[in-house]
Each structure stands twice: as C-alpha cells, then as structure tokens.
Amino acid sequence: MNLARVVGAATWGYLAGTFPSADLATHLARRNGGVDVDDLRATGSGNPGAVNAAVVLGPRWGVAVLVADIAKGTLGGAGGRLLAGPAGAYTAATAAIAGHILPVWSHGRGGKGVATSAGACLAVFPAYFPIDSAVAIAASGASRNAERTIWWSCTSWIAASLLWWTKRLPNAWGPPPTSGLPLFAACGSAMILGKFRAAARRAAERRVAVARAASAS
C-alpha cells in the first residue's frame, strides 16, 4: 500500500465532501427571486441538507441538494479508488462523509451525512446499497423518530460490512471487501450518529429555552 497515494485519496475524498451543495442551492434560489434566505443553517431545522432545503427553498431545490450530496460520496469513493486502489476507495469514501459533516469552508457546520454516505456506498459497497434502502424504508415506516431510523440503518451497515469482509462476498462493481470496508462503515456510522445526537441535543435546548421564555412572560 502506497501511503502517499492513500493520503492523497483521503484528501480528495474530504474535499469532494465539502462541496457546498446546500449553500449553492440557497444562493441560486435567492438569486432567482424564489426565497429570501441567506443560510439554511439559520432557518428551518438549521441543517444544510436536502430535507431542510426542500422545506425552505422548495422541493426541486431539495432534490438538487440530495443528488449533489449523493454525488459527493460517489465521486469521493470512486476517485479514491483510482488514486490508491481498495484502500484509497474506503479511505476516501470515509473522508467524503467527514467533509460533508465537518467542512472546513463553513467552520465545520455541515450536514448530517446520510445522503453522502449513500453515495459513498454506491462507489465502494454497492452490494449493500439495496439492503440499506430497504432497511431505511422499513425503519422509517416503523417509527417517525429519525435518529432511531439511523441507528437501525447504521447497525445494518456495519453488520453487512463485517459479513462481506469475513465471507469475501461479491461486491458488484465495488472494490474487493477488505478490512477497510468495516472500518468505513463503523467510522461513517459514528460520524452520522454523532451529528444526529448533537442535533437532537440542540433541539432539546431550544425547546427548554422557549418554554422558559414562555413561563417568564
């Protein structure tokens, strides 16, 4: 394994993940006269992602952000594989999720990483992508709690990655399963779940502040 190439793959993946898709969509929507919003982080749910973009900017902008966020993960993983083979693919795919969640350009105020992780799976773990979609749909149908849905999805993701690695199962067009696959799933899951927990904590703090203000008045 060429360490320099893997580092280059990680850099590429991170930079791909930092592409400001939600900020660009907000700028274009504002310029076209459709909305009077400067930053998705300051309105709606406060998350610069596809769902908040759809609510605040409109459905077509939400779809555009979703497609762009998926593409970031796919391009990150695919580019990493070109640079450094399977090790580069898994490293870059993980870095793309990190770039989306913690983009240097906006002082680490990124999205939750779900769409970008789906795009990364398309590049480096395509065999799992249909399972991921089915688990997410089933979990969301069973509960309206988004965080619980993500817990189910991440657990399935890690379990599947371990199965594919230990059994050396076919991975469609993705790289051969190595130890990098479960590391990619575990690190990606940890980052996404951490972001969801932080968002839930901020939401709870806002509710407490509103309740206190209401009682004080």
Q: What is the pLDDT of residue 217?
A: 67
Determine the pLDDT at residue 162: 98
Beta carbons of 57 and 51 less than 8 angstroms apart: no
Question: Within 10 Å of residue 41's Cβ, how many Cβ atoms?
Answer: 18
pTM value is 0.93
Contact assessment for residue 87 and residue 6, using Cβ atoms and an 8 Å cutoff: yes
Can you tell me the distance from the alpha carbon of 93 to that of 86, in angstroms, rounded to the nearest whole number? 11
Return the pLDDT at 137. 63
Structural contact between residues 84 and 13, judged by C-beta atoms closer than 8 angstroms: no
Alpha helical stretches, state H, 32-172: 50-56, 59-101, 114-124, 129-142, 146-167
Q: Is 172 exposed, middle or buried (0-12, 13-18, 19+ CB in 10 A)?
A: exposed
Question: What are 13's two structure tokens?
Answer: 């993946």
**Which run of H or of E encompasses 125?**
none
**How many degrees, rounded to 5, is the angle at CA 152 between CA 187 and CA 185?**
20
For position 143, what pLDDT does the model report? 46
Per-residue model confidence as pLDDT tens for the chain (217 residues): 689 999 999 999 999 999 999 999 999 999 887 678 889 998 888 899 998 999 999 999 999 999 999 999 999 999 999 999 999 999 999 999 999 999 999 999 999 999 999 999 999 999 998 887 776 666 555 545 677 888 888 999 999 999 999 999 999 999 999 999 999 999 999 999 999 888 888 878 888 877 787 777 6
Give the list of residues 6+ apart from residue 123 with CB closer than 8 angstroms, or none: 73, 74, 75, 76, 77, 78, 81, 89, 93, 174
Assign 23 to helix, strand or coil.
Answer: helix
